[in-house]
Amino acid sequence: MKTAIYPSAKRENTPLVSVIVVNYNHKYFPKMCVEAIEKSKTNFKYEIIVVDNNSTDESLPYLRNLHKDKRIRLIESSKNLGYGQGNNLGVKHAKGQYVIISNTDIVVHDNTMQELVDYLKKHPKAGIVAPRLRYYNGTIQPSCRRNMSFWDLVIKRTFLKKITPFKKKFHLYLMEDFNHAEVQEVDLITGAYFIMKRTIYLQMGGFDSRFFLFMEDYDLCRTLHYAGYKVIYYPKVEAVHYHKRLSDGNLLLLFLRRIFWIHIFSALKYFWKWRGKPLIPKKSTNLK
């Protein structure tokens, strides 16, 4: 595999934070993502590292122009590495004390980065800190989870979530019974946007490379729990997630989607990896 690593962007002079963004044919989303980051109000230096997974759409020329303008550092892979390995490659070349993993379809508020860094500085046992996410229409995205079974994922991705008693189990898995306005320790968070100390990310081995897409975020959270770190949901700051639900549409179309089966196979790998190991119970801890 050939990888083109472009020179450092001007912001990279001893940055405190490295923002890692993995792109694969995401069209206009990288523009929205980078421009929102650049509007952030911070008292520290940061760098933006974009790993492109061999895109063929208009997003790649845009990213190359950003590099020329020294607004980002661009790493081009000659093949699609997947989400986890793409982020691992970005972190490998990061210089920040903290790393932020961000989807391309995330638009942060101007105070998000600063407050996440401030929280992490004060809480050394926090392995991951993630903000509250909202969909573009303003509704809260259920971005934290309880430790789940394979059937929780099946229910989530099919019509079963609309049928009693599966409906109740689905709502419990998505933690719809908990206060989304309170800072809390949780079992799992989705990997759309979060911050970690770079040393901890590397200590944990980053995202497990066996997961091409999906489940790498839950796997990392569980690894952190076993290492004695906390996974923190921090709703005092927010980001907008332009996320399309995978389960939209009818059941036949769902089963015909390649991405659906990628998710299923990742889930099988996840549950096989953690087979026989007890779930770490979540403590009801107020972490304001």
| pLDDT tens for each residue of 124-151 | 999 999 999 999 999 999 898 888 777 7
Reported confidence tier of residue 157, pLDDT bands at 50, 70, 90: low
Question: What confidence category does residue 154 fall into, taking pLDDT thresholds of 50, 70 and 90?
Answer: confident
Measure the CA–CA gap between 43 and 152, rounded to whole angstroms. Answer: 42
How many residues in total does the chain contain? 288
Indicate the pLDDT class of residue 284, thresholds 50, 70 and 90.
Answer: very low
Arithmetic mean of pLDDT over the chain: 87
What is 3-273's CATH superfamily? Spore Coat Polysaccharide Biosynthesis Protein SpsA; Chain A (3.90.550.10)
Q: Quick check: 179 pLDDT over 80?
A: yes
Does the structure show a pLDDT above 80 at 86? yes
29-33: list long-range contacts, CB under 8 Å, 24+ apart: 29/59, 29/104, 29/105, 29/242, 30/59, 30/62, 30/63, 30/104, 31/62, 32/105, 32/107, 32/242, 33/102, 33/103, 33/104, 33/105, 33/106, 33/107
Judge whether residue 16 has pLDDT over 80. yes
pLDDT at res. 114: 98
* Model confidence at 195: pLDDT above 90: yes
Please tell me the distance from the alpha carbon of residue 276 to that of residue 272, in angstroms, as a whole number. 9
- 4: pLDDT strictly greater than 80: no
pLDDT computed for residue 248 by the predictor: 45
Res. 243 pLDDT band, cuts 50 70 90: confident
Enter the tokens of residue 179: 């206060």
Q: Which among 32, 15, 26 is positioned nearest to 51, based on CA atoms?
A: 26
Structure-block tokens of residue 56 = 């063929």
Tokens 């303008």 sit on residue: 69
Residue 280 is predicted with a pLDDT of 63
Q: DSSP readout, 113-150?
A: HHHHHHHHHH-TTEEEEEEEEEETTSPBP--EE----H
Provide CB contacts within 8 A for 59, sequence distance 6+.
23, 25, 26, 27, 28, 29, 30, 52, 104
CA 284, CA 218: separation in Å to the nearest integer?
19
pLDDT at residue 109 tops 80:
yes
pLDDT, one tens digit per residue, over 37-77 is: 999 999 999 999 999 999 999 999 999 999 999 999 999 99
Residue 187: the pLDDT is 92
Per-residue exposure over 24-52, b if at least 16 CB sit within 10 Å of its own CB, e if not: bbbeebbbbbbebbeebebeeebbbbbbb
Burial class (CB in 10 A: 0-12, 13-18, 19+), 80: middle
